Amino acid sequence: MPTFEEARKIILDSVVSLGVEKVEILSAVGRVLAEDISAPWDMPLWDNTAMDGYALHAADCPETVTLKLAGFLPAGDHMTAEVERGTAVKIMTGAPIPPGADAIVPYEETEEKDDHVCIKVAVKPGDHIRFKGEDVKTGEMVLPAGTLLRPSEISMLASFGKVFVPVHRRVRVAILSTGDELLEPGEALVPGKIINSNSLALAAAVKQAGGIPVMLGIARDNRESLREKLIEGLMADVLITSAGVSAGDCDYVRDVLSELMVIQAFWKVDIKPGRPTAFGLRDGKPVFSLPGNPVSSLLTFEEFVRPALLKMMGHPRVLRPMVKATLKEGIRKKTGRVNFIRVAVEQENGEFFVKSAGKQDTGFLKTLLLADGIAVIPVGQGDLKAGDRVDVHLLN
């Protein structure tokens, strides 16, 4: 049985990034750039004013002086005539510096009267000018392949005039719930049956990770039903199943996967919850068999599937930020397995503090609602007391 770290390494070592596609720029946000992007031109494009004010010759203004007004230059316009010595051109933020002028004096330091302006400060060449290429130079490689595209990267790409952007493809993830007890949301409840919440929970998690869920519905606890659905699921980039993977009498998922040539890399991991998790590959295509308990399936998705999906979509960082936090209260823990404790995280004076988000039984979904972190407690660790330090994956 692999340890938690070994299991995650097996998974991450066996997945590779998907192909590349060009998408319309706004669809690229949250995705990962697949090619290096260099600046096609200087930014700013030309010298321009950083302030509303007056363009003039700095040498005319060693101290308070009055200059003749020689024009008005709003943003969007430009001037070809030289600004003559002893004159000033009124200019709006972003407008190109007119020829001859070498400084800007902001409104706040002037007083305009009739067709003259009084400059009330000493001026130096370059004052309040944003120079051509000062931000980015033509040919400068500012966005390397592998960059996560946030609004700031979109801003840069837009200012380069990009309409389409090369990004890693979104992963298509087939999601199959298994179990004779399952009804779909909306169906009438009957004794013995429960609602299939895992399919939607996992689909939501896939979406949040940037993937595309492919809903396969429910397979019943028999080989024929499983076979039909699993064949369909193997057409996606990734297949996730939930339940039917323990050692129960009706747990056929692993058997049928193996009949379908999915080579099992591991079954059972030294973790709690999520011990029955299995992972396999069919011609390099990853197949995750997650346990059926709603909490276990979401936690194993979080710790195993999400990093794999992110790697497949080219993300440079696939793990959530891990922080050290101080326990506010004791937590019971047996040695022997890594425990994922759902915790509520607080920050006080820049330090993280955590306490259990509720009952840690995998049957209790409510605990996950209150959790904003997963404390990852090592195998050898026993009971923890208030004040102990733990590693926490921040979820939000």
What is the contact surface with ligand AMP in residues (CB under 6 A)?
177, 179, 181-182, 194, 196-199, 242-244, 246, 248, 291-294
Shortest approach of ligand AMP to residue 291 CB, angstroms?
Answer: 5
Residue 381 binds: one of ligand AMP, Mg ion, none (C-beta under 5 to 8 A by kind): none
Shortest approach of Mg ion to residue 278 CB, angstroms?
Answer: 14
Residue 87 binds: one of Mg ion, ligand AMP, none (C-beta under 5 to 8 A by kind): none
CA atoms within 13 A on the CB side of 142: 21
* CB-based contact 130:47 (threshold 8 Å): yes
Q: Pairing state of beta strands 351-356 and 110-113?
A: unpaired
Residue 126 CB coordination number (10 Å)? 12
Q: Which window, 171-179, 233-241, 300-308, 360-368, contacts Mg ion (CB under 5 A)? A: 171-179
254, two tokens:
């692993």
Shortest approach of Mg ion to residue 253 CB, angstroms?
Answer: 9
Q: Is 179 in the site for Mg ion (CB under 5 A)?
A: yes
Q: Is 276 in the site for Mg ion (CB under 5 A)?
A: no
For Mg ion, how many residues bind (rule: CB under 5 A)?
Answer: 3
How many helices and strands (H and E) does the chain possess? 8, 26
Nearer to ligand AMP, 129 or 226 (CB): 226
Q: Is the peptide bond before 44 cis (omega within 30 degrees of 0)?
A: yes
Residue 293 binds: one of Mg ion, ligand AMP, none (C-beta under 5 to 8 A by kind): ligand AMP
CA distances 26 to 16, 154, 213, 266, Å, are: 25, 8, 21, 40
Residue-wise DSSP of 76-132: T----SPPPTTEEEEE-TTPBPPTT--EEEEGGGEEEETTEEEE-S---TTTTEEPT
Q: Is 243 in the site for Mg ion (CB under 5 A)?
A: yes
Shortest approach of Mg ion to residue 199 CB, angstroms?
Answer: 14
Residues that bind Mg ion (CB under 5 A): 179, 243-244
